[in-house]
Amino acid sequence: MRIYILYAGGLVILFSIFLLLSLSHIEPTTIQKATITRLNSVSAIIFLLSFISAFIIYTKHIINNLKKERNKLSEEYLVKEAVDNFVNDMVIIFDGEGRITRINRACEYTMHIFPEEVKGQYGLDAFLDDEECVIFKDALNKIYKGETLKEGVNYWKTGRGTRKLIKWKLRPLIDEEGTITNVILTGYDVIERDRLTRDAFLETEEKYRTLVEQVTDGIIIIQDDVLRLVNPAVCNSLGYTREQLLGRRFQDIIHPSERKRLTFFYKMLLAGENPPNTYESYGLTSDGKKLKVKIKVKMIQFMGKEAVLVIARDISHQRKTERALIESKKNFHTLMESSPVAVMILSKNKISYANPAAKILTGYCNDELKTISFMNFVHPDYKSIIKDYRKKLLRGLATPNELKFMILTRDGEERWVDGRMELITYEDEQALLVILIDITERKEMKEAIKKGEAKYRKIVKDTFYKKPKELDKRIRKPNYIYIIFMMMSNTDKPVSEVLNDVVQILPNAWQYSEITCARIIFGDMSFTSSNFRETGWRQSADIEVLGKKVGEVEIYYLEERPLAYEGPFLKEERDLINTLARELGRFIRRRSVDKKFGYRKNMRFYKKAMELIRGIDNKPYI
């Protein structure tokens, strides 16, 4: 076709040249000149188009030839790479005359031979005995004569002198014209392949056995109405050993109330019908107790026969947990309603629940609380802190156990609170439990204590660091006074513990500490130093709270000493015992205020509330 196009193009070009030459010898008239001009233009255009057409056709012909060559090279390269690198089986390639042109690496490794040793040999003379060679060459000739596939199994000789059983196949490689260009032999070592298959099967079997043994759900295989396989989870749940279960009728481990129903489902499944494949039922333990289980069933092939696979999950604990959860919810709401601590539950940034204490703390009623955001209560100075805290909490990042910040009540009053926040599930949605403990009065007390620390230091200095010589000689342990005052600044220990600690150190602050004992009386309680004994050498001061006597501080000398300002006691010691009694009164007053506002009680409530929330599988759920 292309030759004809080129021939036609050549004729057009020759015709155009002939026409131009013929017209050039005639003396033209005016009309003829115009006609000749038109003909010349047409001839030039035809010539140009013919030339372009011929050039395009020739260029396409060259490009197509190059593509064919490139594809041929690419195919040969890919075949070589596939044969050499990516084929696990042996591959031997024969040319059109039946001579070996290439073997792959798998063939080299299997037969322990190099390509140069067999390249150019006819058939498999290097691998087979004479008798086997004849059979193979006959198969090869049949392939060249047109048969598409030949295969066989026989023993091949390796380069090390051993023999291997090789299973092989012959396939022809045919070009576009139908000519056999090559014959490809593929094969593998039968014994080695069987070993690898067996090892892989054993490895897979071991994996599945481990999975069945370790899974927490019960796995049962029923075949011919008896138990053929049970895993440890089944044995543990029912209280049997594996030997006791294997071979028993499956009805024996079903509670009598469920046997009729489950047997009916079993027969439906064997008949090819569609019974429920997931349902709840009751098993029967070895001691005759009911065991609530969730069952999934499926038909499978086991040991070459049809069988029923049963996966059973013990849900008796789940039911107990659900009942405990319901009970925990009731206890939680009862606790919240009677709590002195403000409790709120935030869902979707709105207050879904607020207890009566939260309404008292904020000054809002229940309807108002449900329409506003929690951030409306937070003091502007702490809004960014609370936002960051919530973000970290929602992302599961580490957050401090407590957060002290200020809130604004409905009347605009600033209140200090000790906040606790916890992620929970509320009405099947993620929510935030907020517990607020009012610590405004406690905060003010702490500030007063800090301000009073300087005052305590001044008292010690004024009392014990004066310059009279008699005082310097007799007072040698002024630091004990400072220690006593710092003990009374402790707001964590109970009052009884603080008073007991103070009375043990108190004798060391007097000039004759080695013969000094002390007693502190508070209400019905009495606290004494280890060497306490009443004597006639006594010094005391009353402990008062709001002008009412609540106790007394007493100092006794166990031996007689020279007279001083007040018997054997110094004037500075009188000032000291008065100061101690006054500060003990203030300490007891602070504790009574703390008890009144119930900070420790509130902290105990918080811990109890969180124990209730976390009491179900350690998962916060309300």
* CATH code of domain 215-314: 3.30.450.20
Alpha helices per DSSP H over 440-478: 440-464, 469-474
- CA–CA separation, 100 and 581 (whole Å): 115
pLDDT at 8 over 90: no
Record the tokens describing residue 172, joined without a space: 């022809």
pLDDT at 450 over 90: no
Which of 445, 494, 450 shows the shortest CA–CA distance to 597? Answer: 445
Confidence of residue 175 (pLDDT cuts 50, 70, 90): confident
pLDDT of residue 472: 42
Q: Of 60-64, 542-546, 552-556, 566-570, which gets the smallest average pLDDT?
A: 60-64
Of residues 613 and 308, the one with the higher pLDDT is 308
Which of 533, 582, 544, 578 shows the shortest CA–CA distance to 570? Answer: 578
- For residue 350, give every residue at least 6 positions away whose Cβ sits within 8 Å of its Cβ, in sequence order, or none: 370, 373
Query: 449: helix, coil or strand?
Result: helix
Pick from 72-86, 142-156, 227-241, 342-356 the range whose average pLDDT is largest.
Answer: 227-241
- CA–CA separation, 245 and 529 (whole Å): 73
The DSSP call for residue 85 is I
Q: Of 441-450, 516-525, 526-535, which gets the smallest average pLDDT?
A: 441-450
The DSSP call for residue 250 is G
Please give the angle made by the CA atoms of 28, 32 and 34, to the nearest 5 degrees: 120
Which of 615, 602, 620, 613 shows the shortest CA–CA distance to 332? Answer: 613
Residue pair 546/531 in contact by the 8 Å Cβ criterion: no
Average pLDDT over residues 36-49: 68
Phi-psi region of 598 (alpha: psi -120 to 50; beta: other; left: phi over 0): left
Burial of 145 (0-12, 13-18, 19+ CB in 10 A): exposed
| β-sheet bridge partners, residue 137 | none
pTM, full prediction: 0.34
311-348 confidence digits (pLDDT tens)? 988 887 766 655 655 666 666 677 677 777 888 888 87
Q: Please provide residue 102's backbone torsions phi and psi, each rounded to the nearest 5 degrees.
A: -160, 145
Burial of 39 (0-12, 13-18, 19+ CB in 10 A): middle
pLDDT of residue 473: 40
Residue pair 433/414 in contact by the 8 Å Cβ criterion: no
Average pLDDT over residues 106-119: 87
Confidence of residue 67 (pLDDT cuts 50, 70, 90): low
Residue pair 560/537 in contact by the 8 Å Cβ criterion: yes
**Domain residue limits, the chain:** 2-75, 87-195, 215-314, 324-438, 443-596
Report the C-alpha dihedral over residues 110, 112, 114, 119, rounded to 10 degrees: -70
3-state helix, strand, coil in the chain (%, to 5): 50, 25, 25
Beta-strand relationship, 525-528 and 414-426: unpaired
pLDDT of residue 607: 56
Site of tokens 């749940």:
237
Confidence of residue 615 (pLDDT cuts 50, 70, 90): very low
Mean pLDDT of the chain: 77
Record the tokens describing residue 419, joined without a space: 């906040």
Average pLDDT over residues 221-238: 90
- CA–CA separation, 31 and 37 (whole Å): 10
Which of 213, 209, 217 shows the shortest CA–CA distance to 237? Answer: 217
The Cβ of residue 416 has, within 10 Å, a number of other Cβ atoms equal to 17
Helix or strand holding residue 148 (H, E): none
Please give the angle made by the CA atoms of 171, 176 and 181, to the nearest 5 degrees: 45
410-440 confidence digits (pLDDT tens)? 888 888 888 888 888 777 678 888 888 888 7
Pick from 48-57, 223-232, 468-477 the range whose average pLDDT is largest.
Answer: 223-232
Average pLDDT over residues 569-584: 87
Fold classification of 324-438 is Beta-Lactamase (3.30.450)
pLDDT of residue 444: 67
User: Would you say the CATH fold of 443-596 matches that of 87-195?
Assistant: yes
The distance of Cα 395 from the centroid of its chain, to the nearest Å, equals 13
- For residue 346, give every residue at least 6 positions away whose Cβ sits within 8 Å of its Cβ, in sequence order, or none: 352, 374, 431, 432, 433, 434
What is the CATH architecture of 443-596? 2-Layer Sandwich (3.30)
Query: 472: helix, coil or strand?
Result: helix
Which of 283, 296, 192 shows the shortest CA–CA distance to 234? Answer: 283
Residue pair 141/117 in contact by the 8 Å Cβ criterion: no
- For residue 297, give every residue at least 6 positions away whose Cβ sits within 8 Å of its Cβ, in sequence order, or none: 265, 269, 275, 277, 308, 309, 310, 311
Average pLDDT over residues 254-274: 89
Which of 512, 522, 486 shows the shortest CA–CA distance to 573? Answer: 512
Decide yes or no: CATH 3.30.450.20 for domain 87-195: yes
